Amino acid sequence: MKTLIFGYGITGKAVENFLKNKSREYLIYDDNKNVISDIEKELLFDESQIDIIDEVVISPGINPSHKQIKNFGIKNKIITDIDLFSREFKGNFIGVTGTNGKTTFVNLLSNFLISKGINAVACGNVGVSPLSINFKDKDFAIVELSSFQLHYASNLQIDFGIFLNFHSDHLDWHKDEKEYRKSKLKLLTFLKSNENLVTGFNTLSEKHLEDILNVPINKNKDELLMKNYDFDDMSFPVDTCLSFIKIIEKLDINPDEGYEYLKKEVHSEHRFEFVDSINGTNFINDSKSTNFHSMSVATSRVRNALLIMHGITKNIPEDEINISGEIKKILVPKNMNIDIEVRNCEIVELDSILSLETYLAEEYQNFETILFSCGGSSFSDFKDYKHRGLFFKNIVNNLKENTR
């Protein structure tokens, strides 16, 4: 019997190297014909070989409605690269999920543990398959788990689980919000003990995750931490800070050390990143904000601001937009195809996001803050959110050059 690698991108190639090192036989399937030249022809899968496939290791971006998935029977078990990793890893597996802030949290926690002399690594949906790292000498793996990965995951062995928050997202991939929530909640089924579940909460509506998770949540613990630690001036959302302090405690590390570390750290690039100040106007790059909740939270952190939206909204209901009253004007590119109304706020439609620099050159000095917090995925005009963020930062640099 053979393993089928379903999708030959970054994840698929990591799986291939893993299987080679294990001397396991495999075949490869990918919709993109451009990758065929990278694959030996005898490794290409066709439907006549379905009976010799034992497991299908699927790349997380493949939509569940893909026609090929329907061809696999019960015996063709679908798993992920995270499942393969979980079978092999002997250290502590910390799984991190939530709608917003996963990448920031995973990097924050791994860097903190490393600073304490603990052998830790960040991997998963952060762009590095855990199969690509030398994990045999790692004491902790902090693994970012997207809803796509959890949807397909089969049998993870998670020592500690972090559930940061939950809001609508990826409704262009998941059938509906119920299915999206179900994927996220699989984290709980993989936990070795519910005692090792750490949660944040919805800082926007102050609604706790208890109703979503359907497990008892120690709300008094959150209130005590909020009383003991001042998170207001942190670079990170409150749910990130709370979850960070709580997992530090569970790992038997003094939470005061975690708090001091949080105070010194700043956000990663493209996540509420201060770019520059020009003539008293601050420019914030929040290109990694790809859904309405993340964007709405960002608007609550600025004053007298111009908000720039952009991207594909992934079928998320527009009633989930909750814009702060500090937003005085919103720029929306025509191809965003969104119809919003915000009280006491002017909505301006741009012909194209590519005309942004011309508009800002005339308008930016009317605001204390220019907030590039998009509320949609980047793929309508850019390669990814990083490309989009660099586009904005380049505009800021050009504006500053023109003031000299």
Q: Which tokens is 36 given? A: 């065929």
Output the CA–CA distances (angstroms, integers) from residue 163 to 9, 156, 177, 212, 391, in the order listed: 28, 16, 17, 11, 32
Instruction: Write out the residue range of the structural domain in which residue 174 sits.
Output: 83-264
* 396 has a pLDDT exceeding 90: yes
Q: How many domains does the chain have?
A: 3
Interacting residues of 320 by C-beta distance below 8 A, sequence separation 6+: 167, 168, 292, 293, 296
Max CA distance (Å), the chain: 69
Same domain, 75 and 125: no
Q: Which of 242, 264, 286 is the last residue of a domain?
A: 264
Residue (of 211, 215, 231) closest to 223 by Cα position: 231
Decide which of 79, 107, 138 is a domain's last residue.
79
Q: Which residues contact 10 (CB under 8 A, 6 or more apart)?
A: 127, 129
Predicted TM-score (pTM) above 0.85:
no
What percent of the chain lies above the pLDDT cut of 70? 91
What does each C-alpha distance from 293 to 39, 180, 211, 326 come to in angstroms? Answer: 41, 15, 18, 16
Residues 291 and 320 grouped into a single domain: yes
Residues 161 and 257 in one domain: yes
Contact 60, 11 (CB under 8 A): yes
Residues 364 and 254 in one domain: no
Contact of 180 with 169, CB cutoff 8 Å: yes
Selected residue with higher pLDDT from 310 and 176: 310
pLDDT at residue 216, as a whole number: 65
Q: At a CB cut-off of 8 Å and minimum separation 6, what does 193 contact?
A: none
DSSP 107-126: HHHHHHHHHTT--EEEEETT
Note whether 288 and 366 are same-domain residues.
Answer: yes
With a cut of 60, say whether residue 333 has pLDDT above it: yes
Q: Let me know whether 63 and 90 are in one domain.
A: no
What's the pLDDT score for residue 118?
94
Same domain, 66 and 158: no
User: Once rounded to an integer, what is the mean pLDDT over residues 44-56?
Assistant: 86
pLDDT at 269 over 60: yes
Chain-centroid distance, C-alpha 376? 13
- pLDDT for the residue numbered 199: 83
Question: 42 and 175 in one domain?
Answer: no
The CATH number assigned to the domain holding 35 equals 3.40.50.720
- Confidence grade of residue 203 (pLDDT, cut at 50, 70, 90): very low
pLDDT band at 32 (very low <50, low <70, confident <90, very high): confident
Convert the pLDDT of each residue in 230-241 to its tens digit: 887 677 888 888
Beta-bridge partners for 372: 285, 308
Do 120 and 163 reside in the same domain of the chain? Answer: yes
Cβ-based neighbours of 134, under 8 Å, separated by 6 or more: none
Helix ranges restricted to H, 124-254: 147-152, 177-190, 210-213, 219-228, 238-250
Q: What CATH number does the domain containing 109 carry? A: 3.40.1190.10
CA distances from 2 to 7, 76, 301, 340 (A): 16, 10, 52, 51
Place of tokens 């179900």: 182
pLDDT by residue (tens digit) across 161-199?
Answer: 998 877 655 556 656 777 777 877 888 899 998 889 888
**C-alpha span between 270 and 70 (Å, rounded):** 38
Report pLDDT for 253.
Answer: 96
Same structural domain, 110 and 229: yes
Both 254 and 229 in one domain: the answer is yes
Q: How far, rounded to the nearest angstrom, does the alpha carbon of residue 275 sit from its chain's CA centroid?
A: 21
Among 264, 298, 329, give the residue marking a domain's end: 264
* C-alpha to C-alpha distance for 181 and 368, rounded to whole angstroms: 38
Q: What is the pLDDT of residue 227?
A: 82
Same domain membership, residue 246 and residue 126: yes
Reported as a pLDDT band with limits 50, 70 and 90, residue 206 is very low
